[in-house]
Chain A
């Protein structure tokens, strides 16, 4: 199902024209209404006249998270406060939160892109959406809420947490679509399994985002909840969830590129990479009024695919996030992404998808411990089998990541579950 065929299936040339026009309007807008962007452009001797098409994007300066923090709270808003009708903020795990302001038009855009997202997952006005993302400053809850309402679905604004109630409403109300973080979805799936109420569920799809997850986790969720699981990508700085979404082909996420213009750069040289190459994802919003971002560096690593999708959509697809330049751990000189470890663990099937990485330094050497839960159904009385499992995981990590990790098998449910973004790494090294 395609929500907005004229944009989602627009020819590449026509899309380029739309983007050129919208980019020019956006640059005009920020140059005249945002002292921050004007100053940055003037520093490089740029005026809106220099930006004629999306090919000129590379002339523009990048915007970073640090810029957003420095401009806290409203420094990047490009309209008067009287035009702002909603404020959101990202969780400020380090330093100040990032604040986003939306005009009424921005909110409409947001619910449009989310309606596209949900329609691409096969949903319609006949669905019952259980929104188990946190409501509040976090963009997940309210974003999904208005998107599902725009679709015409029935919305249960239950927010995150309160697992008992989640399961009760899921069974009593017959929710057909679930929106939450993948780690919370796994937690819910386990709780459902424990109570043996799978048969009472009418769930058919899940839209999971706000944190990275793997194909293996998708399979696990699909099996446990008997659903089709869709990845949904977004970030507060750009708009929130709905920047990109999966169609039923699930070969990458379609970017709503008539609103959010993507680029991939080499994070070291800042140069654009060759098409199809992996690099850091950069976004320029081309319809936003309240807080447009120009060449915003997401720190997410991915690659773009401009080929037409089998679903009929022509919009560019980004692959699942392959890591974050922020999350990247450098252990004994080797780049390690937690997502790599996760996919190794999921390959095994004998361990639960719950893990925690501990990095420390002893005698000037990095130590790397991977704690992973055994599955009760895979526990065996044979010590040799258990030791062999540990050995096989260690060997697989070694071959995928290139360094040795000490795997520690821990009891089921001993690793902390989170209802928000999962904290899977503890780095005790004091390197900075």
Chain B
């Protein structure tokens, strides 16, 4: 399914300098970050990143001692206007697709929402059947 995007999740201890290290490693390797979010517990956090070459990034970070895993997410486009997100989420809940987490950013006329669901295939199907627009994986990566 070309709409499923590989997201990188990185285990991070709450230690100064770890984020700098990650971004600098990726930067030097010419890997571009498209979106990311940080989720944190008191002593550790998980950084989730959509980037231009997830496999290469995973290899690179693992070789530098980071703990990394890949998970499937989708990126949904919704018009940047009131009520549109609610509409999309309504469709998902109607079809019993639960959302584990999401992160988003809106600017100009479109908002982009990264969604992780434990049933990602159903999530894609439901959203596409409802004529909602999903980003293509190929738009996210460049090889």
Contacts and interface: CB of A to CB of B under 8 A. Distances in A.
Interface string A348-382: 00000000000000000000000000101001111
Interface stretch (B5-13, B24-32, B82-90, B105-113): B5-13
B43 A383 contact: no
A374 B67 contact: yes
Nearest to A369: B43
A322 to B, nearest CB: 30
A410 B43 CA distance: 8
Contact of B100 (A374, A376, A382, A408): A382
A411 B48 contact: no
B67 A383 contact: no
B44 A410 contact: yes
B69 interface: yes
Contacts, number: 49
B65 A408 contact: no
A381 B67 contact: no
B70 to A, nearest CB: 8
Contacts of B65: 411-413
Contacts of A382: 100
Interface in B31-85: 39, 41, 43-44, 46, 48, 62, 65-69, 71
A414 interface: yes
Nearest to B40: A383
Contact of A376 (B7, B39, B43, B62): B62
A304 to B, nearest CB: 43
Nearest to A410: B13
B129 to A, nearest CB: 26
Nearest to B7: A381
Residue with the highest number of chain B CB atoms closer than 10 Å, among A376, A383, A387, A410: A383
A386 interface: yes
Contact of B39 (A379, A383, A411): A383
B13 A381 contact: no
Contact of A386 (B41, B48, B68, B116): B41
Contacts of A413: 65
Nearest to A383: B39
A381 B44 contact: no
B41 A411 contact: no
A411 B12 CA distance: 7
A383 B46 CA distance: 7
Contacts of B11: 374, 379, 386, 409, 411
B102 to A, nearest CB: 13
A340 B101 CA distance: 37
Interface of A: 374, 376, 379-383, 386-387, 390, 408-414
For the complex of A and B, list the 10 residue pairs with the smallest distance between their C-beta atoms, beginning with the closest: A381-B9, A381-B71, A408-B43, A376-B67, A379-B67, A379-B11, A411-B13, A410-B13, A409-B44, A383-B39
Interface of B: 7, 9, 11-13, 39, 41, 43-44, 46, 48, 62, 65-69, 71, 100-101, 116
Given A381-B69, A386-B44, 16 more contacts: A376-B62, A379-B9, A379-B68, A380-B9, A381-B48, A381-B71, A383-B39, A383-B41, A386-B41, A386-B46, A408-B44, A409-B44, A410-B43, A411-B11, A411-B65, A411-B67
